[in-house]
Amino acid sequence: MKKAQVSPQAGSNVAVFVLLLGLFLAIYVLLLPPEDREALLYNNSVSENEDIENQKNIYVLEQSPGILRPVDDDQIIHKIDSINLYSKEEPKIKDLASSLYLEKSLFSQTKRNIIFEIDDLDNLETVNLIFIANENKGNLIIELNNIIVYDSKVSGLTNILLPKELLQESNNLEFSVSSPGLNIFGKNRYSLSSIKLRESYQLTNTRESRNILLSEQETGNAELTFFLYCNIPQQGTRLMIFFNNEEVKNEIISCSTVERTIDIESEHIENGRNIITFQIDKGDYIFSEIKLKVDTELKGSINYKFSLTEEDFDSILSEDRRAKLFMEFNDDERKKATISINGKEFSLDTNDIDYERDISRLIKEGNNFIKITPLEEFNIDLLRITLE
């Protein structure tokens, strides 16, 4: 019986297949992302790498203190721009003509037209036409934008209220006199002088706000002070003051110019942007020398607490880790401050945009405290304590 033989061609095909398979796998591995390729070749997953990275750095404190200001006492004072609140009428007088002569007979007529503009229709309250009738016979007829608004006999000083609903941005006043009627030889006439227009506008600015930026130094209660002046004496005006939309004052005010004080509890105060709003219901008042005095720690220091577990502290004692203080600033101006960690002080004096210091010997197991007292005004964008 003959043994089966494998043909040379079949062996060659298997070799080619194995070669192509190996080449495909090599290309596949090369095209993998680096982290996947490393995980495949070295049996090291991405999650394991992340765990190692997380174990390397531990953030025990991270804050953004913002602006720090040195202060001489226990208050930081913010000066606020004056506020003018009002709800009042403001008249505006326009000279239309120095004189007008009008007449009408059976066969002839003299009319006069005057064009005038209204500057602010939205806030317009009233418009009065004022003139002196020196000579009068018959009725004086006045048309506003082709509609008769007056038809009567007048003499001397005359004040006519023009209908507000007929007024436009550009207006036409037409003056004429009535017919003498059946008196075919008669003539009616008027001689007018000092023709003026009195426009009354309602000006309103009864609510106005100011923004104040408070730092993390300003952690206590506040005191708002201001002086009040009356431009127009007004009885029974109500003043309301809001701090971050919380009403802190609501009273009927008088025109005395004494300094007024309002206490604001710390619970209404926010780190960063705060809004003070003044509001009245009528009158014309100026609020000046407005100041917000905010309580702060001694010399404007800021304080933070952070804690270390027994395990983390042991890793520092064994020198497996180091505790690092890192600060990032927003400019390269000089920054000067005294920093205290658990009562142990050192100085900050740098022009750099960041600062780093090893504080391993200053910290302890459990609660730790860091205090920064500025000696010059500067800004800390980021404050971080890390175990590395």
261-280 pLDDT, tens digit per residue, is: 999 998 889 888 899 999 99
- The more confident residue out of 152 and 32 is 152
Asked if residue 47 has pLDDT above 80, the reply is: no
* Among candidate residues 123, 86, 89, the one with its CA nearest the CA of residue 280: 86
Q: Which residues contact 7 (CB under 8 A, 6 or more apart)?
A: none
CA count, 13 A, side-chain hemisphere, 359: 27
Question: In sequence order, what are the residues at sequence separation of 6 or more whose Cβ sits closer than 8 angstroms to the Cβ of residue 183?
Answer: 106
Give the pLDDT band of residue 32 (cuts 50, 70, 90).
low
* Sign of the C-alpha dihedral computed for residues 191, 194, 197 and 202 taken in this order: negative
**pLDDT value of residue 157:** 95
pTM check: above 0.75? no
CB-neighbour burial class of residue 337 (10 A; exposed 0-12, middle 13-18, buried 19+): buried
Q: Higher confidence at residue 86 or residue 4?
A: 86
**Sequence-separated (6 or more) residues with CB below 8 Å from residue 169:** 117, 118, 121
Could you tell me the CA-to-CA distances from 86 to 76, 122, 235, 278 in Å, in that order?
Answer: 31, 17, 14, 11
pLDDT computed for residue 33 by the predictor: 67
Closest CA to 376 of 315, 317, 326, 331: 331
Distance from C-alpha of 292 to C-alpha of 278, rounded to nearest angstrom = 14
> Is it the case that residue 86 has pLDDT exceeding 60?
yes
Average pLDDT for 227-254: 91
Instruction: Report, as an integer, the average pLDDT of 238-253.
Output: 94
Lowest mean per-residue pLDDT among 46-60, 127-141, 225-239: 46-60
Contact 226, 259 (CB under 8 A): yes
Q: DSSP letters along 208-228, please? A: EEEEEEE-TT--S-EEEEEEE
Provide the pLDDT for residue 81. 94
In the DSSP assignment, the letter for residue 82 is -
Q: What is the pLDDT, as a whole number, of residue 23? A: 74
Cα–Cα distance list, 168 to 93, 122, 128, 165, 172 (Å): 17, 11, 15, 8, 9
Contact call for residues 136 and 142 (beta carbons, < 8 A): no
- For the cut 80, the answer to whether the pLDDT of residue 246 exceeds it is yes
1 pLDDT band (50/70/90 cuts)? very low
pLDDT at residue 250, rounded to an integer: 95
Least confident range of 109-118, 209-218, 219-228, 236-245: 209-218
Q: How confident is the model at residue 258 (pLDDT cuts 50, 70, 90)?
A: confident
* pLDDT per residue as tens digits for the range 332-347: 999 999 999 999 999 9
